[in-house]
Amino acid sequence: MSDAVLAAPLSSTVSAAALRRALIVGARRVIAASDELNRINVFPVADGDTGNNLASTLGAILHGALSRRSRRVNELLAQVGEDAIDGARGNSGAIMAQFLVGLGERIRQRPVLDVDDLVAAARRGAVSARAALARPVEGTILTVIEAFARALEERARQAAGTPAEVFDAGLAQARAALDATTGQMAVLARAGVVDAGARGFVLWLEGIAEYAASGPRALRAGRGLAASVAPDVHVGAHAHEAVDPQRRYCSECLLLGQAIDRDALRAALEAQGADSLVVAGSASRVRVHGHIGQPQRLFDAAAAFGQLQAMKADDMLRQQRATEQPSQVAVITDSASDLPDALAERCNIHVVPVRVSLDGRDYLDRLGLGVDEFYRRMAASRTLPRTSQPPPGDFRRTFEHVLACQPAAVYVGLSRPLSGTLQSAETAARGQRKPLLCFDSGHVTAGQALLAWRAGELAAQGAALAAIEEELIRLRPLTLTFAMARDISHAVRGGRIPRWAGPVVRWSGLTPVAAIHERGVLKVAGGLFARRQAPEAFARYVARRAKGAARWRLIVGHADALADGQRLLAALRTRLEIDEAHLVDIGPAIGAHAGPGTLVAGLQPAP
């Protein structure tokens, strides 16, 4: 038998080499159609990311198990399942990954695949995928998977055939089941579309079938498949189901351990109120997906069952709004900006969380570790918290989502000299198909937030990317960021302030003031001899340096020092003409370095 095709007309078995190539074509077909799948995504929520999620899941396999040769089918499928669980994203991605895990579980100690193996593996995959969901829903990818597995069983019972012939019968029934999904759920009927996850599964099957029919030609053709796969599908906002604001975060994590009890894990997650829950994987590797209002509740429940990795929490409300703004430039920042929630909501600014490590656990800034809880635990901890920039994958996920439905995007990033966060975003931006600007704000916390605010405001007014960039360049040197710390020990130990400053502050009684300089570097700029009246003295210091504008925008931040923050805000209002002002908690990303009691003032000339 030749490995050039999945199963030649008279072949009764499939080799690992042929199966690997067929899976490559199937994965490429889904990835090429990701934009189409995003457009028709209306269930379980219309967040327009099913295509990206399936592309990520299958992309992990392409770069993993399918990137190297395998001698045995069982070894290939076992590694495919592990890679799929590691790379799974979203509801459909997690279900697809569990289906692939099921395939590998059934094919053990088998160098090749015959009809009986194919039928049994598909049945095991279907059962495994359904078992991963807390509340299976018909009219979804699950329905099509079941139709495929059942058709294989029926075809194998009716007449003998090759794996390719049996597979073709399963594909025909999967296509029919896909067409029927439109009538199985009201949201799909209103939109006039099929289920996006189910469509992705059928595309995957079609790619495998194409390789079975065409051999190496399908591998070559699959590299440029996008235009031929994705029809002109458009879904208006009227077709979208509303995101539940009480469960607005699509949260995921990877759990590693030994003998993980997935049933007990699912029950623990349901007890936390998670919806659209998928628990996919094996006894040692589990991907958790759920919609929840407080992501940390899901992460904490999962952490009781193993080692937590690859956490993410995407705001589906912001994602849905992005799909409803197809002509508007998307604006993104990171959580080190301490952007007030009111401004993020008003301008639909996406925020990528910085990672925070405390007491041996990693958290997502603000989403995984709230501000109040962070400062309480920080005070009780014997070790300093640490921060790390978001990995490129976090940025890539956000970039891919907004660019799937919006014409361009701008990321307003943390000053390059202060962190590798901007570099992480630039890495994620490579290869994006639409214009994407990674802009160095030259600031942090309130100053960075002011620039993101202005970018979001311009985008909402319909400004083009070039106009937004021009305004940010103009405003960057005019934006002022100052910080005052009663206790600089955290900043000294974290390396943000030189060690010599510690003894000087203790001996002199100074309250040091730092400022962002022209090159985006945070430096000690002066000091105040005013302990009790420090907020008012800080206001005087800032006001004396706020020149060149008649009216200002103001953001005041405080690190677990609400009363001092309120006093600073009030004092600045009496000394400057303020157009609009916001008071915000300094989050863990900055609080880990600045320490409790820190105050921040950011000023920018009002438009």
pLDDT at 504: 58
User: Which domain-ending residue is among 262, 291, 321?
Assistant: 321
Please indicate, yes or no, if residue 45 is contained in any of the structural domains. yes
Q: Is the pLDDT assigned to residue 269 strictly greater than 70?
A: yes
Please indicate, yes or no, if residue 55 is contained in any of the structural domains. yes
Q: Write the CB contacts of 506 (distance below 8 Å, at least 6 apart in sequence).
A: none
Q: Are 159 and 262 part of one and the same domain?
A: no
Joined together, the tokens standing for residue 162 give: 């090759």
pLDDT at 404: 86
User: Which domain-ending residue is among 201, 230, 259?
Assistant: 230
Q: Are 44 and 138 part of one and the same domain?
A: yes
Q: Are 252 and 210 part of one and the same domain?
A: no
Tell me how far CA of residue 88 lies from CA of 57, 85, 100, 101, in angstroms: 4, 5, 11, 12
Q: Are 206 and 308 part of one and the same domain?
A: no
pLDDT at 2: 40
pLDDT at 586: 95
| Confidence band, pLDDT 50/70/90 cuts, at residue 49 | confident
Range of the domain at 493: 478-605
Q: Are 160 and 202 part of one and the same domain?
A: yes
> What is the count of structural domains for the chain?
3
Give tens-digit pLDDT for 159-194. 767 898 999 999 999 999 999 999 999 889 888 999
- Domain of 537, CATH number, reads 3.30.1180.10
Q: Is the pLDDT assigned to residue 244 strictly greater than 90?
A: no
What integer is the mean pLDDT of 448-463?
97
Please indicate, yes or no, if residue 120 is contained in any of the structural domains. yes
Q: Are 489 and 590 part of one and the same domain?
A: yes
What's the mean pLDDT when you consider all of the chain? 88
Give tens-digit pLDDT for 410-445. 999 999 999 999 999 999 999 898 999 999 999 999
Give tens-digit pLDDT for 210-234. 998 887 776 766 554 443 343 333 3
pLDDT at 232: 36
Please indicate, yes or no, if residue 299 is contained in any of the structural domains. yes
pLDDT at 381: 83
Please indicate, yes or no, if residue 382 is contained in any of the structural domains. no
- Domain of 133, CATH number, reads 1.25.40.340
User: Which domain-ending residue is among 205, 230, 255?
Assistant: 230
Please check whether residue 588 is in contact with residue 387, taking contact to mean a CB–CB distance below 8 angstroms.
yes
Side-chain-side CA neighbours of 359 within 13 Å: the count stands at: 11
Give tens-digit pLDDT for 590-603. 998 888 999 999 99
Q: Is the pLDDT assigned to residue 9 strictly greater than 70?
A: no
Amino acid present at 412: V
Q: Is the pLDDT assigned to residue 488 strictly greater than 70?
A: no
Please indicate, yes or no, if residue 71 is contained in any of the structural domains. yes
Q: Are 484 and 585 part of one and the same domain?
A: yes
Please indicate, yes or no, if residue 531 is contained in any of the structural domains. yes
Q: Are 214 and 273 part of one and the same domain?
A: no
Q: Write the CB contacts of 144 (distance below 8 Å, at least 6 apart in sequence).
A: 174, 177, 178, 181, 195, 198, 201, 202
Q: Are 268 and 298 part of one and the same domain?
A: yes
Q: Are 564 and 502 part of one and the same domain?
A: yes
Joined together, the tokens standing for residue 464 give: 């083009």
Q: Are 491 and 532 part of one and the same domain?
A: yes
Please indicate, yes or no, if residue 400 is contained in any of the structural domains. no
pLDDT at 319: 86
Please check whether residue 204 is in contact with residue 30, taking contact to mean a CB–CB distance below 8 angstroms.
yes
Q: Are 29 and 99 part of one and the same domain?
A: yes
